[in-house]
Structure 1
């Protein structure tokens, strides 16, 4: 139904003067370590997104965002998560050509491709199972499960049980280290410095991309601090942090502690879409890689949903 109405009609209902969008990667390739986790844009689709956003919003940089710069149109801050190498190879040239700033929220543990993030391992393993009949037979002999059940069980392995992914990869003789060597997944330290010199932001996304609601408070703080220390040591941004996956069930005690321990930290980011947060220093971003929706469709749906939640007084994330 939203397709029948222009975005101008929806933008009047936009609840905030500034929105933050989050992407992961852009590619025309068959990215085996990502394809089973979320849909991603082609360069052509990404440029189409940017052209639409330029028409209805004003792109801002980090200083403008923090200083709440007044703009003639609603403003938009562009962010990317996970530090995939496509940001260097594909995304940054497009953004530089268009004069658009973005922040890349990275996990220091995976810089230089010495190790693969657990969810990327899951997608890579599933790609192998789907493409290789021998892998399917091996998994059936090992587990007794059908391919469909095997795939769903691999993708459902959580952070606490991530060692199981290494066991499966070993059983199937999937050489993850060799894959990282021949198909670099993440940005290198050299590329990060080049991106910083080109004017892009580099900031913390947790040390090793954990699911925060599966960590104790102490583990949450240790993981965050380790990543923020890395940012500080490498002269990257230390005034923002973006939760990996979600900030769901993260309590005020975490926010109180992390802001107290890091006086330069200004804001943290979740990714729950258009919502208020009872912790004013935690701001929600809008995930764009949803099914095969255009950025216009994503934003229209977010505005409709926000107005619905507002009407039933559930448009704020409340924390204990």
Structure 2
């Protein structure tokens, strides 16, 4: 049964903070802030780059246009030295702060749009993928939600069908669809069936994810391919056993296909993941060097879990995002809250 209702998404304190400080920080050069960087190196995370209207993503997060992405890279190149995975592991000494570039979810745009830009500029990146969706065998549950919402907004007959079914206004139905979680993802299939949206047809006509052949080519071109969980769950909604199984299955895929099996990036967030998970997964995988969250500029009480900085905030340049992250970190440090504590 599908239950629709009002869903509210409160603005986070960090978002409010950025909105307050950004008008101030944008008036100062990055050099005024770089001396406050707490670490020798940063790790940034993107998802995709496109000039197109990407229906299966547009309602999930903002993404860079090609022009915006190249502008980001030019700024970052001026202030950081891009490193590859081996250099990062070996803590290569650099004249400028190190920067490791990462992408999540294995979207096809990495092959078609992003990799040619990075190759031209001589920049390495790791793509953290979900093996279940490689070769476009299935659409990831969050991409299903965004696609359904896009179709409803674009087609009046779908809006009528939804109203007849739920008696909710359009805005309420959209909020409810986007709030469906990993555990209840089958509800998205029920909605799609009701509206006669065919995910398989969409994937055939619009390849969403990388293919096996593309992964091999990207590896030959020097890019890293690594684990992002098997099917992109929200880890704090899984039991410990499910967390381990999902992670191990994806790491085994990396080993079997001779990709990177020494790193793992949490899908969504590592919020509420316990030390027990880390102890177990590192014990099971002797090659595993680091795991990665995406909480921004923060320390982590588990030393092998490193936080990355999301770099796709709408209407903010890479320079603005990093300035805000640096100031936010310094405020958290003064409050004694700059470290994620694990139970």
- TM-score of the pair, normalised by structure 2: 0.93
Q: Report how far residue 174 of structure 1 moved.
A: 0.4
**CA offset digits 1:276-314 (Å, max 9, x no partner):** 000000000000011221000100000010000000000
Which of residues 268, 274, 297 in structure 2 aligns to 1:245? 268
Asked if residue 118 in structure 1 is aligned to residue 149 in structure 2, the reply is no
Q: Point out where structure 1 has 5 or more consecutive residues left out of the alignment.
A: none
* Aligned match of 1:41: 64
Hey, what's the Cα distance between the residues in 1 that align with 2:86 and 2:209?
27
* Aligned match of 1:90: 113
Hey, what's the Cα distance between the residues in 1 that align with 2:90 and 2:54?
38
Hey, what's the Cα distance between the residues in 2 that align with 1:87 and 1:58?
21
* Aligned match of 1:278: 301
Hey, what's the Cα distance between the residues in 2 that align with 1:190 and 1:5?
46
Which of residues 190, 213, 217 in structure 2 aligns to 1:194? 217
Hey, what's the Cα distance between the residues in 2 that align with 1:246 and 1:254?
14
Asked if residue 12 in structure 1 is aligned to residue 62 in structure 2, the reply is no
Mapping of 1:251-270 within 5 angstroms? 251-270=274-293
Asked if residue 313 in structure 1 is aligned to residue 332 in structure 2, the reply is no
Hey, what's the Cα distance between the residues in 2 that align with 1:28 and 1:190?
24
**CA offset digits 1:56-112 (Å, max 9, x no partner):** 000000011011111111010000000000000000000000000000000000000
* Aligned match of 2:233: 210
Mapping of 1:140-159 within 5 angstroms? 140-159=163-182
Hey, what's the Cα distance between the residues in 1 that align with 2:193 and 2:217?
35
Hey, what's the Cα distance between the residues in 2 that align with 1:212 and 1:166?
22
Hey, what's the Cα distance between the residues in 2 that align with 1:61 and 1:292?
28
Which of residues 281, 284, 293 in structure 1 aligns to 2:316? 293
**Residue aligned with 1:161, SS:** coil
Hey, what's the Cα distance between the residues in 2 that align with 1:9 and 1:292?
22
Hey, what's the Cα distance between the residues in 2 that align with 1:197 and 1:292?
35
Hey, what's the Cα distance between the residues in 1 that align with 2:226 and 2:321?
25
Hey, what's the Cα distance between the residues in 1 that align with 2:324 and 2:142?
27
Mapping of 1:129-140 within 5 angstroms? 129-140=152-163
**CA offset digits 1:31-67 (Å, max 9, x no partner):** 0000000110011110000000000000000011011
Asked if residue 107 in structure 1 is aligned to residue 130 in structure 2, the reply is yes
Hey, what's the Cα distance between the residues in 1 that align with 2:214 and 2:304?
30
Q: Point out where structure 2 has 5 or more consecutive residues left out of the alignment.
A: 1-23
Hey, what's the Cα distance between the residues in 2 that align with 1:20 and 1:152?
32
Hey, what's the Cα distance between the residues in 2 that align with 1:194 and 1:290?
30
**Residue aligned with 2:183, SS:** helix
How many pairs were matched up?
A: 320
- TM-score of the pair, normalised by structure 1: 1.00
* Aligned match of 2:52: 29
Hey, what's the Cα distance between the residues in 2 that align with 1:9 and 1:65?
26
Mapping of 1:167-186 within 5 angstroms? 167-186=190-209
Q: Any runs of at least 4 consecutive aligned residues in structure 1 with deviations exceeding 2 A, and if so which?
A: none
**Residue aligned with 2:102, SS:** strand
Q: Report how far residue 232 of structure 1 moved.
A: 0.3
* Aligned match of 1:160: 183
